[in-house]
Amino acid sequence: MKISQDQLQNYNKEQLSLHQNQFENLSDNLSKHGVDTEKIINQLADFQVAIPSWALGAGGTRFGRFSYQGEPSSLEQKLEDIGVIHALTQTAGAISLHIPWDIPEDYNAIKELATSLDIKFDAVNSNTFQDQKNAKESYKFGSLSNTSKASRDQAIAHNIDVINIGDKLGSKSITVWLADGSSFPGQSNFQTALSHTQDSLKDIYKHLPEDWKMFIEYKPYEPYFYSTVIQDWGTSFMLANECGEKAYTLVDLGHHLPNTNIEQIVSTLMLKGKLGGFHFNDSKYGDDDITVGSIKPYALFLIFNELVYGMQNNPQNPDLSWMIDASHNLKDPLEDLIQSLEAIQIAYAKALLVNQDDLKQAQQNHDVTLCQEILQNAYLTDVRPLVKEARLKRNGALNPLQQYRSIAVRKQLIKERGKNTVATGL
């Protein structure tokens, strides 16, 4: 299904005068404090986040999977779902493909469909965390780090295939996340596992097209419980440096132990020009993959504050690949993604409100109280009118979730696809 401009505009008309009042109030207030509202709205309008191809259906837990009705059962339908979210939010202008779950059959048709929906192909993701049907070698005891050369070679060849598939679609990066690790002390030789991983990554790196990047994702634990080969940003950073200038670290919000200072990690990586990708989600305990901003919105703001600082002050760091990496077990996946995109825009807008010059001055004067006030004043500002204005500028919906419900998208999808369709994924 597709949302038409008429549907959007009719709906927006009803909400417009209320929005205009709220926007003018905020805008006047911000102008008095020297904020360039127009500039912030443009920055918000330009900010696009990739939706992964596995996020459109119901995700599994370790114990079961409860299907959601009207799930997309082909890559075409997944693109259509992202098209719906993008039409409403104007923030989801990219897809991140997971291979082998979503290998296109007709590349030109897929590219045309994506273009018609204003969707670009962002990083492609390889999968060596599960065995594929008829695979010769198993990843049960690791992929790029496996003590078996045959398993490592198979995993390297798969990553090269993923690059080739992405290249045909116009992607410019590959994300490598390894489940490799061990569950028991003594099971794995740490040095051997790390050396194998390094050599395997270098082999993959050799096959990167000139204008491509490789993102190396880290995670402290899970699926194994004692050790993970690429467990933290330091290990990822070291591996990226060993590979070369086209290799970068990828930060996933859920891949940290509780209370890790993620904003400091982001800041360090950007200073070194090595932050390439960023995955959004939220968590209470571990890699919970729940709606962005649903648990720790202030932490998200502080992280965005460092990202904004880096984007403004670190030309050595490339533009980032942004993606939502979450799983949807209870909510309609599309509603969850709309909520996540809203939370991302809100955190970004608040970070853009931080007066970096004033903050620098306060830091220089060791005025700790004022430093905190500057951050909290930005955080406590209700920026939703700015986010809405940015959407309006791009002909999106003033209130995406309300509109999604008022035009009964899910009901329509169930009618088109049936109740029992299942999207590929975990």
The window from 203-211, 249-257, 304-312, 403-411 that contacts Mn ion (CB under 5 A) reads 249-257
Q: Does 252 bind Mn ion (CB under 5 A)?
A: yes
CB nearer to Mn ion: give 262 or 407: 262
- Residue 256 makes contact with Mn ion by CB under 5 A: no
Could you say whether residue 98 binds Mn ion (CB under 5 A)?
no
Closer residue to Mn ion, CB minimum distance, 71 or 252: 252
Residue 86 vs 279, nearer CB to Mn ion? 279
Structure tokens at 377: 């004043």
For Mn ion, the closer CB: 1 or 179: 179
**Nearest approach, Cβ of 253 to Mn ion (angstroms)?**
9
For the segment 362-421, give every residue that binds Mn ion (CB under 5 A). none
Site string for Mn ion, 49-88 (x = CB under 5 A): ----------------------------------------
CB 25 within 8 A of CB 411: no
Q: What radius of gyration, in Å, describes the C-alpha atoms of the chain?
A: 22
- Please report how close the Cβ of residue 40 comes to Mn ion at its closest, in angstroms: 28
50 or 87: whose CB is closer to Mn ion?
Answer: 50
Nearest distance from residue 260's CB to Mn ion, in Å?
15
CB of 252 to Mn ion, least distance (A): 4
Residue placing its CB nearer to Mn ion in the complex, 279 or 350: 279
Does 279 contact Mn ion by CB under 5 A? yes
HSE-CB at 111 with a 13 A cutoff on CA atoms is: 10
Could you tell me which stretch among 77-85, 245-253, 265-273, 418-426 binds Mn ion (CB under 5 A)?
245-253
**Minimum distance, C-beta of residue 279 to Mn ion, in the bound complex (Å):** 4
Q: Which of 325, 336, 342, 389 binds Mn ion (CB under 5 A)?
A: 325
CB of 322 to Mn ion, least distance (A): 12
Q: Does 122 bind Mn ion (CB under 5 A)?
A: no
**Binding residues for Mn ion, per CB under 5 A?**
252, 279, 325
